[in-house]
């Protein structure tokens, strides 16, 4: 990663409701992407092929929101990593808290990370505590999630990893619930420290992009990125809102002009 490169990931989750709306949304967003911001859209798997085919050549990269934990076999309803690769996905989100809430364990997350990297996909690995306790238990949770996901990730594979720090309690709410930039910065430092130890002090760990996600809106985007000192943002519900998402892109691209709410 170039030092200073910024990222915005749009996690469309289970929206929009039709492919026509998905195309409309994409077409409205695409012209507003600032040059310096690497933008990755994660549409629902059902829309992926159509969007990717139609918009190849735009500056947007496309990824999937999940893959299955086995490479191949009889697994009804699942999306395999080879399919993801074949269909033109460059990125895959793994370990999102909404999937963990459906029973995805640290072990399953690790399996998916290993499979995705072996298929040359860039992994956007989500970690985040369910709640913030006053004894610092959340720090141990973050460490466990991170180390178990990276258990078989070699140093040379690390360049294909991005980490999305998403405190679960801050997801899907509003600006008032997003994390304070100082706390985001503390989490970033912790993640860098864990990576530094895990990869035996190699300085390249400082190039692993770390994003923040959880109730990102235009009003807090600047503070989260520039005071929180993250490399970018993972945007959920606001990535389905053209005005909000293009505003967030603009803010991240320009270094933040929007009035701060903190």
In the complex, the residues that contact ligand PGA under the rule CB under 6 A are 11, 166, 171-172, 213-216, 234-238
Nearer to ligand PGA, 216 or 223 (CB): 216
- State in Å, rounded, how far the first CA of the chain is from the last one: 29
What's the CA gap between 194 and 186, in Å, rounded? 12
Least distance between ligand PGA and beta carbon 216 (Å) = 5
Q: How far is the CB of 126 from ligand PGA (least distance, A)?
A: 7
Please tell me the distance from the alpha carbon of residue 99 to that of residue 106, in angstroms, as a whole number: 11
Q: How many helices (H) and strands (E) does the chain have?
A: 9, 8
Task: Count other C-beta atoms under 10 Å from residue 68's C-beta.
Answer: 19
Q: How much helix, strand and coil, in percent to the nearest 5, is found in the chain?
A: 45, 15, 40
Q: Which is nearer to ligand PGA, 116 or 211 (CB)?
A: 211
Which residue number places its CB atom closest to ligand PGA? 236
So which residues are the catalytic ones? 96, 166
DSSP string, 220-251: HHHIIIIITT-SEEEESGGGG-HHHHHHHHHH
Complex with ligand PGA: residue 116 or 164, whichever CB lies closer: 164
- For ligand PGA, give the closer residue by CB, 172 or 255: 172
Report yes or no: 109 and 148 within 8 Å, Cβ to Cβ. yes
For tokens 């009035």, name the residue.
Answer: 259
Backbone angles phi, psi at 216, to 5 degrees: -80, 130
Number of C-beta neighbours around residue 197 at 10 A: 12
Q: Which one, 205 or 213, has the nearer CB to ligand PGA?
A: 213
Nearest distance from residue 59's CB to ligand PGA, in Å? 22
Least separation in angstroms between CB 235 and ligand PGA = 5
Q: How far is the CB of 63 from ligand PGA (least distance, A)?
A: 12
CA-CA distance, 63 to 93, in Å (whole number)? 7
Work out how close the CB of 202 gets to ligand PGA at its nearest, in angstroms, rounded to a whole number: 29
Compare residues 80 and 128 and give the one whose CB is closer to ligand PGA. 128
Angle at 93 between CA 77 and CA 187, to 5 degrees: 145
């Amino acid at each position: 990663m170039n030092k200073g490169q910024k990222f915005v990931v749009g996690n469309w989750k289970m929206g929009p409701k039709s492919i026509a709306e998905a195309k409309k949304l994409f077409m409205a967003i695409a012209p507003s992407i600032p040059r310096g911001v690497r933008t990755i859209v994660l549409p629902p798997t059902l829309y992926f092929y159509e969007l990717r085919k139609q918009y190849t050549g735009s500056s947007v990269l496309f990824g999937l929101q999940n893959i299955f934990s086995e490479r191949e076999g009889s697994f009804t309803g699942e999306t395999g990593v080879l399919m993801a690769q074949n269909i033109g996905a460059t990125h895959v989100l793994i370990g999102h808290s909404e999937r963990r809430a459906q029973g995805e364990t640290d072990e399953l997350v690790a399996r998916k990370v290993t499979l995705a990297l072996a298929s040359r996909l860039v992994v956007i690995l989500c970690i985040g505590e369910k709640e913030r306790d006053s004894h610092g238990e959340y720090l141990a949770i973050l460490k466990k999630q991170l180390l178990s996901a990276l258990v078989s990730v070699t140093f040379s594979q690390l360049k294909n990893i991005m980490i999305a720090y998403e405190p679960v309690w801050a997801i899907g709410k509003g600006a008032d619930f997003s994390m304070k930039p100082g706390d985001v910065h503390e989490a970033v430092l912790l993640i860098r420290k864990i990576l530094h130890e895990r990869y035996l002090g190699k300085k390249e760990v400082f190039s692993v992009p770390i994003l923040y996600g959880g109730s990102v809106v235009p009003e807090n985007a600047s503070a989260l990125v520039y005071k929180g000192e993250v490399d970018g943002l993972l945007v959920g519900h606001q990535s389905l809102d053209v005005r909000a998402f293009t505003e967030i892109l603009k803010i991240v691209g320009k270094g933040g002009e929007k009035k701060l709410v903190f």
